[in-house]
């Protein structure tokens, strides 16, 4: 796919799935805007074909998100964002009976409210420019639930609902909104699991392997390029949620 001339913002793109998606769009010719809560490392920035713009703010802070995006749109010669990938998120896992209220609120505030904090100002601009693509990172646990992740599951189920509503609101202005629901993807989190825990999870996955960040990035490119898909959630989980 060729995304030459398109500008893509990927939140939470300092590593993992977000970085893989940013690299995929970069390799397809797009102009990339990276985002992180902390300053991005030079080796990340230098890994792109074209030097990307960078943004730094906490998506859970609505005012900070609005100010950063407002400043971006005011930059001379900046023509706007064509594709937004809402990838940033956090986890604070614990069984429900032992979960602190502040940990439940923190995950929902970042993953759900934070996604809206970034999306709303960009969605307004997309309405005016009469085109745009938004891809929200959900999760298979937002579809099927998971013990120890009541906060994360709730936040990602909310993202799926938000995706469907935004798709209906944006359709008449040529704005498509879809979501990706990854399953177990090779990451720092899966690397930290014990061999026993990995074996238990793999026994639940029909394809008997974890996915890669590239598997998710491929779907992001597909959703950005297919102009007759909106309001959908594409599950990338090796068959876990069958």
Question: Considering just the CA atoms, what is the radius of gyration of the chain in Å?
Answer: 17
Q: What is the pLDDT of residues 156-201, one digit of tens each?
A: 999 999 999 999 999 999 999 999 999 999 987 778 778 898 899 9
Query: Of 1-15, 108-122, 142-156, 176-190, which range is least confident?
Result: 176-190
Domains of the chain: residue spans and CATH? 7-236 (3.40.50.720)
Question: In terms of residues, how long is the chain?
Answer: 242
Mean pLDDT within 7-24: 97
CA-to-CA separations, 60 to 23, 35, 55, 64, 118, in angstroms, rounded: 25, 13, 14, 9, 9
Q: Which residues are catalytic?
A: 152
The span from the CA of 189 to the CA of 80, in Å, is 34
Q: Is the pLDDT of residue 233 over 80?
A: yes
């Amino acid at each position: 796919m060729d995304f030459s001339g398109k500008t893509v913002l990927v939140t939470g793109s300092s590593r993992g799935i977000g970085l893989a998606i940013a690299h995929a769009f970069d390799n397809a010719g797009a102009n990339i805007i990276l985002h992180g809560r902390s300053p991005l490392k030079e080796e990340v920035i230098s890994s792109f074909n074209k030097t990307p713009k960078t943004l730094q703010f906490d998506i859970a802070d609505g005012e900070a998100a609005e100010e950063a995006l407002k400043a971006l749109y005011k930059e001379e010669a900046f023509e706007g964002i064509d594709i937004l990938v809402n990838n940033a998120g956090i986890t604070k896992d614990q069984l429900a009976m032992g979960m602190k209220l502040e940990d439940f609120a923190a995950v929902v505030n970042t993953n759900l409210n934070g996604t809206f904090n970034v999306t709303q100002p960009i969605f307004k601009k997309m309405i005016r420019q009469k085109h745009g693509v938004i891809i929200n990172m959900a999760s298979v646990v937002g579809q099927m639930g998971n013990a120890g992740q009541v906060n994360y599951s709730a936040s990602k189920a909310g993202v799926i609902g938000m995706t469907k509503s935004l798709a209906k609101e944006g359709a008449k202005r040529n704005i498509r909104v879809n979501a990706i629901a990854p399953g177990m993807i090779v990451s720092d989190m899966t690397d930290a699991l014990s061999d026993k825990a990995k074996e238990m999870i793999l026994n639940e996955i029909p394809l008997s392997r974890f996915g890669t960040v590239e598997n998710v990035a491929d779907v992001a490119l597909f959703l950005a390029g297919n102009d007759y898909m909106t309001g959908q959630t594409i599950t990338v989980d090796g068959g876990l949620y069958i």
